[in-house]
Amino acid sequence: MKTDVIMANLERKYPNEKEYLQAVREVLESVESTYNKHPEFEKAKIVERLVEPDRIFSFRVTWVDDKGEVQTNSGYRVQFNSAIGPYKGGLRFHKAVNPSMMKFLGFEQTFKNALTTLPMGGAKGGSDFDPTGKSDAEIMRFCQAFMLELWNNIGPDTDIPAGDVGVGGREIGYMYGMYKKLKREYNTGVLTGKGITWGGSLIRPEATGYGALYFLEHMLHKVGKDVKDHKIVVSGFGNVAWGAAKKAIALGAKVVAISGPDGVISIPEGMTEDMVDYMLDLRASNKNVVAPFADKFHGTKFIPGKKSWSVKCDIALTSAFQNELDGNDAKELLDNGCWCVCEISNMGCTPEAIHEFQEHKILFAPGKAVNAGGVATSGLEMTQNAQHLSWTAEEVDDRLHKIMKSIHEQCVKYGTQPDGYVDYVKGANIAGFMKVAHAMLEQGII
Ligand code: GLU
């Protein structure tokens, strides 16, 4: 396999799919030399098959807003790969959603899910519906209209959607209600991230952020450091940033910045628990601005138009969107003394930023390893649904802990360089890719 040959072909076929091409290139460059030691992969054209989604559903979603006006959005479900389990991955509702974003996220999800040690294939879906400023009734009508199209293509052993940016417990509730009405079955295992009284799992809302902090702890312990007393910046103020901030504080770190599309909040004394709780109110207000945070808490400051990466820190955690940290941001972080960056958002850093971090040999780990705790806990939710019982928070948290430890070990195993530096990007890509590739090989040419 030659990365450049495969990429040239994909660039010709999908010239406008920037994020998808970026994600595929990163994985192929990491795995090329390991892959080429397996002539049986080459013969079965594993990589050529693996970079293409199994299928994509693309549909129209029409709904009526509060003024009585008819609105139409685009909806998608990309079923990327089912070599190691049924399709699994979140739904993203965001105005910038397009086929490229859906494909990149489905591709990443395939390897992330493989790293979790649980039997889940990769998928992603969503819509260009913009939840900002929408009423609760509008959100409900949109979710119902979306499920009216999707329901027949998903199922507990087929494809299991969940949340992502713009989709949380409320949206999953509205979609599950509609699914149940159409299917006429109480099939809890069809969606994850459900409410606790109807099949949800304890710790699922916190899981992405908690898992990321467990991964970070392992990274730091490996080099003789600890999370405690270090300054951390996170980006965004959504579910992922919330879970990460909550666990970071519990572990004794100082969270000194959160952000929104309007700017950054600098918190020199570090976040308190009531500040973390307030992030939920801010998100629920549906306005997608972070500025009100500084009005509420003395000693914090709103700086318009700036990102979290401009605030001095030891550790930076991307927790909002893809490519939110670019080469210039990376330079600013390094100049300010930052020595560890973890992506909690999917593909949070641009290739230029990753290059800067790796050149300077600072600790850097990619989203598909760091944020896998979210989907892993979705997998635990599916297991509880299949058993028709619920585990305690301690049991779920303990399993999440073990999964993150195992993901860290896989990264170290495949990513340790001759000089001892751990290339977590390479480690995560090789571990995830090889698992899926072997499963595809064993299942024949399909
Ligand atoms: N959207 C999350 C992710 O990117 C969670 C997916 C899931 O729970 O299925 O992994």
Q: Residue whose CA is closest, atom 10 of ligand 1?
A: 375
Q: How far apart are CA 75 and CA 127, in angstroms?
A: 4
Same domain, 218 and 316: yes
Q: Across the chain, what does the average pLDDT equal?
A: 98
Q: CATH number of the domain that 253 lies in?
A: 3.40.50.720
Distance 263 CA to ligand 1 centre (A): 26
254-260 and 231-234 beta bridge pairing: parallel
What does the pLDDT read at residue 356?
Answer: 98
Beta-ladder partners of 74: 60
Distance 326 CA to ligand 1 centre (A): 23
Average pLDDT of the segment spanning 298-309: 98
Q: CATH number of the domain that 174 lies in?
A: 3.40.50.10860
Same domain, 239 and 176: no
Same domain, 121 and 147: yes
Domain contains 412: no
> Which atom of ligand 1 lies closest to the CA of 120?
9
Binding-site residues, ligand 1, Cβ < 6 A: 88-90, 162, 164, 192, 346, 371, 374-375, 378
Domain contains 407: no
Same domain, 19 and 151: no
| pLDDT one-digit tens code per residue, 224-270 | 999 999 999 999 999 999 999 999 999 999 999 999 999 999 999 99
Domain contains 417: no
Q: How far apart are CA 306 and CA 328, in angstroms?
A: 13
> Which mutation among 375, 381, 384, 400 tests ligand 1's pocket best, with the greatest number of atoms within 8 A of CB?
375
Same domain, 235 and 285: yes
At residue 385 the predicted structure's pLDDT band, cuts being 50, 70 and 90, is very high
**pTM of the full structure:** 0.97
What does the pLDDT read at residue 292?
Answer: 97
> Which atom of ligand 1 lies closest to the CA of 371?
10
| pLDDT one-digit tens code per residue, 20-44 | 999 999 999 999 999 999 999 999 9
| pLDDT one-digit tens code per residue, 62-107 | 999 999 999 999 999 999 999 999 999 999 999 999 999 999 999 9
Average pLDDT of the segment spanning 402-425: 98
Distance 291 CA to ligand 1 centre (A): 28
**Residue 164's domain spans which residues?**
53-185
- Among residues 237, 270, 248, 78, the alpha carbon closest in space to that of 165 is found at 237
Distance 286 CA to ligand 1 centre (A): 21
Domain contains 446: no
Same domain, 181 and 326: no
Same domain, 265 and 181: no
CB 21 within 8 A of CB 11: yes
| pLDDT one-digit tens code per residue, 304-317 | 999 999 999 999 99
| pLDDT one-digit tens code per residue, 172-231 | 999 999 999 999 999 999 999 999 999 999 999 999 999 999 999 999 999 999 999 999
Same domain, 43 and 82: no
> Which atom of ligand 1 lies closest to the CA of 92?
1
Domain contains 424: no
Average pLDDT of the segment spanning 15-24: 98
Domain contains 428: no
Domain contains 190: no
Average pLDDT of the segment spanning 48-55: 98
Same domain, 213 and 357: yes
CB 425 within 8 A of CB 26: yes
Instruction: Return the SS3 of 356.
Output: helix
**Identified catalytic residue from 88, 103, 112, 124:** 124
What does the pLDDT read at residue 274?
Answer: 97
Same domain, 118 and 223: no
Task: Out of 370, 398, 421, pick the residue that ends a domain.
Answer: 370
Task: Out of 321, 350, 370, pick the residue that ends a domain.
Answer: 370
Domain contains 88: yes
Task: Out of 322, 348, 370, pick the residue that ends a domain.
Answer: 370
Same domain, 298 and 248: yes
124 among known catalytic residues:
yes
Same domain, 72 and 40: no
Q: How many domains does the chain have?
A: 3
